[in-house]
Structure 1
Amino acid sequence: MAMTRFSFLLRLPIILLLADIYVALRLTIAAPPGITRWLAPTALLLIYLLILAGFFTRRAVGKPAIDAIAWAGFLSLGLFSWLFVLTLLRDALLIAIKAATMADGGIFSDSAISLLHAASALAVLVVSLLAVLLGLVSARRLARVVDIEVRLPDLAPALRGFTIVQVSDLHVGPTIKRRYVSAVVHAVNELSPDIIALTGDLVDGSVASLSEHIQPLAGLKARHGVYAVTGNHEYYSGAAQWVAEFRRLGFQVLMNQHRVLVRQDATLVVAGVTDFSARNFDAEQASDPLLALHGAPANAAARILLAHQPRSARAAEAAGYDLQLSGHTHGGQFWPWKYFVPLQQPFVDGLHRYGRMQVYVSRGTGYWGPPMRLGARSEITRIRLAG
């Protein structure tokens, strides 16, 4: 897996460069003659360089200059994402208009088409900049509390109203720091949950770089404990070190393991698995929902699984869980990427049924990469069990 990621990072500059050239050519052609015609390629070259700088310095998080580069790089990535997608849509529109004009024998005049080329190119730029601004404002707001009721058949009366607060995909790193983490901790504790579930991707960097910024999570409080599982980004950043750090902070990290909670006369099993991709980093840590239930009481009133990726659902349902809590997808984070999530994951966000089991997928409490959210606001999820 490490080699696969390395190969991708080698290909990334070429892929971005080709996309950058495409956008530059399409917008340059529409610009009026003169110096303005050089603005698009110059700006896109700068964006390209900033994106690469942001990617290749992000692991050195913690140094002010490096963090500033990461900020510039990820904002540039968000802007380029919009420029690329809107340029594709613009070209599709122009091709359709040209085809209609040829079929109708001149529905639009040459001057009208020329004006449309210029106006649509300007619209791509304006809409992209506006989307970045709105997305930035949305992403930097504290995650909202989302209330979800999950009905489990024959749930013991003692467990009705049991609350789980889920925090997922916090991604503490170059652009999410201690101040935001502290605000999340305060918001979670205000909900007075029975348990807190941390469903992976809490960090984007090493323990040495981020321990100061993740420290406020030690203040999380729940009646029956704080439970955590690894996400793919923990493995990118050194999973063994992070698991040790999470335990130091007071979390019960479940590595294909479970805990048994007793409330009055009812038993609740809370299990957790390593990330779905963990086997690619360490074969001994392969995600195994069935193993996580080993030794659990057969008469438990409910079995809940914490699994970072929704695609753990198939094995979880077969193992006999009632509810799986996941994250990973960010709800797509911003348009149009939510439409690509189903290529890898069975669910994008929200509550779903998978066979006899239910799956809740959080949109995430932070964000990854571009500090942008549009149409998929971050969340702190309060889940109430009901019969």
Structure 2
Amino acid sequence: MTSAVVVLVALAVLGLLAGAHLYLWRRFVRDVTAPGSPWRRVGAVAAVVLPLTSVGALVAGRSGVPFAVEQALAWPGYLWLACLLYLLLALLAGELVRWVAARTPWGVRRRTATATGPAPQPPAPAEAAPVGAATGTTDAAGTVGTADAAGTAGTVTAAVTGGGTPYGATAAAPSPTDAAPHGTDRAADRDPEATAGPRTGSAPQPEGAGSLTVPLSAPLPGRRVFLARTLAVTAATVGLGTTAAGAWSVLNGPTLKKLTVPLAKLGRRAHGYRIAVVSDIHLGPTLGRAHTRRIVETINRTQPDLITIVGDLADGTVADLGPAAEPLRELRSRHGAYFVTGNHEYFGDAHAWLDHLRELGVHPLENARRELPGFDLAGVNDIQGEDQGEGPDYAKALGDRDTARPVVLMAHQPVMVHEAVEHGVDLQLSGHTHGGQLWPGPYLAALANPTVAGLDRYGDTQLYVTRGAGAWGPPVRVGAESDITVVTLASGD
């Protein structure tokens, strides 16, 4: 990958992070806090510090910083990345709910009922003041009429926006000729129904003026804030709760799975042979010695005949993580423990790790094969090793063998099964996918792997993919529980 491509990818990632955090700030801070409040200031600081911590965690492992600094950045930085994912998913689900609710009949009725009510009625007609009388003012629900001593017409201001004169506009009062002389008995005073014209001192009353309707271009402010806070609290509860449960799943150790795989060539002598399969332990700044010890104890309790470690042991150097791998020395089985490289071994010094594993009593299979009772065990290097001239060599690992004997192949990536089919492999054991690790990760993992987790068949070759025992990046798993699998071989189909 060229430097230009690396820079473009880095800029794209940073742009996505910035956009995601801006969206979170709007929904969790701006929409629910008052300007200038302490909570808004805290939210603004968090919106800057948290993404910087995550970026620091991502680059620290390859920047040569002290391992203690890497650990200090890893826990908050990686955990926040998982929180970010599930907070975004929860907020997007909330946006959909809000959009649907605003368009349901209940939502429409609710908003209309809140903004509609009885309109103020105009004042009752009054006797016209005699010429020269003092100015009279009537004020009822915002309707004001005035007349000066000379009989000059005043103004009438209508507060009813649903009909008549718009809010804030003025309408001319009746002319002096419309007022009856002092002492004159008007027919309109005796019988209001007798005249069809508007009454003196009152605004016209068009049809529909009995209700006050406010335009509903946006929800009322109080309701809008309440809805924003409800969605924020719900999204925070779902997002943070999901991340916490996923972290507990990893830190509590992998679950134990059991699987029986029949092999057509397997003789009766090897029937019931038990292989412990573990992959993707991923020792690093968040998963250390205690994580390895839990894995070793789980495997030893099963009393397997053979232990296979299918790549991606560590994310770091032997100098930093050698002590974390030390419990592997305590692995126990009848025929030993074997290891093949994964892609992460080649991100660092793969040879240093292979030498260290030999010191711990684990046997690396570098494009090699061993004869075991009833079958052959083979292992090939990971595809990532091709960049260093150390890729998989199937001919070396599988050539010149007795094809009447079944062969079990250790290969880190499931995609390597296509070569395994061509070389007559009976069973391939793989990892790499983590089962997707973080939902909806399984759907993305399926785009690059023929099998994400579990047992599948490709021609005459069976492929088993474990979800792995650790986690890469965030020490969190959601929808893809970590596991160690005991595969029991059975003779016959």
> TM-score, normalization: structure 1?
0.89
Which of residues 413, 434, 458 in structure 2 aligns to 1:354?
458
Instruction: Judge conservation of contact 1:61–1:173 (CA < 8 Å) in 2.
Output: no
- Could you report, residue by residue, the CA deviation over 1:3-62 in whole angstroms, capped at 9, with x for unpaired residues? 699544565333322322233234445324332445544323221011012112235687
**Farther-moved stretch of structure 1 (11-20 vs 306-315):** 11-20
Instruction: Judge conservation of contact 1:62–1:210 (CA < 8 Å) in 2.
Output: no
Which of residues 374, 379, 382 in structure 2 aligns to 1:275?
382
Instruction: Judge conservation of contact 2:318–2:353 (CA < 8 Å) in 1.
Output: yes
Which of residues 53, 56, 59 in structure 2 aligns to 1:56?
59
Classify 1:164/1:105 alpha carbon distance in 2 versus 1 (closer, same or farther; 3 Å): closer
Which of residues 125, 141, 145 in structure 1 aligns to 2:252?
141
- Structure 1 match to 2:315: 204
Q: Which amino acid aligns with 1:152?
A: L
- Write the distance in 2 (CA, Å) between the matches of 1:186 and 1:61: 33
- Could you report, residue by residue, the CA deviation over 1:94-116 in whole angstroms, capped at 9, with x for unpaired residues? 44555x45x99946633566644
Q: List aligned pairs for 1:1-150, cutoff 5 A.
A: 7=7, 8-9=9-10, 11-34=12-35, 35=37, 36-59=39-62, 63-97=67-101, 100=103, 106=108, 109=111, 110-111=219-220, 115-150=226-261
Instruction: Judge conservation of contact 2:272–2:490 (CA < 8 Å) in 1.
Output: yes
- Structure 1 match to 2:288: 177
- Could you report, residue by residue, the CA deviation over 1:135-157 in whole angstroms, capped at 9, with x for unpaired residues? 12111002121111112224211
Classify 1:160/1:61 alpha carbon distance in 2 versus 1 (closer, same or farther; 3 Å): farther
Instruction: Judge conservation of contact 2:284–2:314 (CA < 8 Å) in 1.
Output: yes
Which of residues 190, 201, 214 in structure 1 aligns to 2:301?
190
Classify 1:107/1:289 alpha carbon distance in 2 versus 1 (closer, same or farther; 3 Å): farther
Q: Which amino acid aligns with 1:272?
A: G
Instruction: Judge conservation of contact 2:265–2:404 (CA < 8 Å) in 1.
Output: no
- Write the distance in 2 (CA, Å) between the matches of 1:10 and 1:198: 36
Classify 1:193/1:105 alpha carbon distance in 2 versus 1 (closer, same or farther; 3 Å): closer
Larger proportion of helix: 1
- Write the distance in 2 (CA, Å) between the matches of 1:253 and 1:4: 37
Instruction: Judge conservation of contact 1:366–1:378 (CA < 8 Å) in 2.
Output: yes
Classify 1:195/1:371 alpha carbon distance in 2 versus 1 (closer, same or farther; 3 Å): same
**Farther-moved stretch of structure 1 (54-63 vs 249-258):** 54-63
- Structure 1 match to 2:201: none
Alignment of 1:381 with 2:492, yes or no, is no
- Structure 1 match to 2:362: 251
* Greater Rg over alpha carbons, structure: 2
- Between 1 and 2, higher relative CO (CA 8 Å, sep ≥ 6) is seen in 1
Instruction: Judge conservation of contact 2:74–2:285 (CA < 8 Å) in 1.
Output: yes
- Structure 2 match to 1:368: 472
The runs of 5 or more residues in structure 2 that have no matched partner are 112-218
- Write the distance in 2 (CA, Å) between the matches of 1:254 and 1:231: 12
Q: Which amino acid aligns with 1:337?
A: G
Classify 1:131/1:14 alpha carbon distance in 2 versus 1 (closer, same or farther; 3 Å): same
Instruction: Judge conservation of contact 2:32–2:225 (CA < 8 Å) in 1.
Output: no
The runs of 5 or more residues in structure 1 that have no matched partner are none
Q: List aligned pairs for 1:293-332, cutoff 5 A.
A: 293-300=398-405, 302-332=406-436
**Post-superposition shift, 1:313?**
1.3
- Write the distance in 2 (CA, Å) between the matches of 1:5 and 1:136: 33
Classify 1:2/1:68 alpha carbon distance in 2 versus 1 (closer, same or farther; 3 Å): farther
Query: Secondary structure at 2:61's aligned position in 1?
Result: helix
- Could you report, residue by residue, the CA deviation over 1:58-80 in whole angstroms, capped at 9, with x for unpaired residues? 35687444312211111111111
- Write the distance in 1 (CA, Å) between the matches of 2:289 and 2:261: 32
Query: Secondary structure at 1:55's aligned position in 2?
Result: helix
**Post-superposition shift, 1:315?**
1.4
- Structure 2 match to 1:232: 343
Query: Secondary structure at 1:340's aligned position in 2?
Result: helix
Query: Secondary structure at 2:90's aligned position in 1?
Result: helix
Which of residues 256, 266, 287 in structure 1 aligns to 2:392?
287
Report how many aligned residue pairs link the two structures.
Answer: 378
**Post-superposition shift, 1:382?**
0.7
Q: Which amino acid aligns with 1:270?
A: L
Q: Which amino acid aligns with 2:355?
A: A
Instruction: Judge conservation of contact 2:91–2:231 (CA < 8 Å) in 1.
Output: no
Query: Secondary structure at 1:186's aligned position in 2?
Result: helix
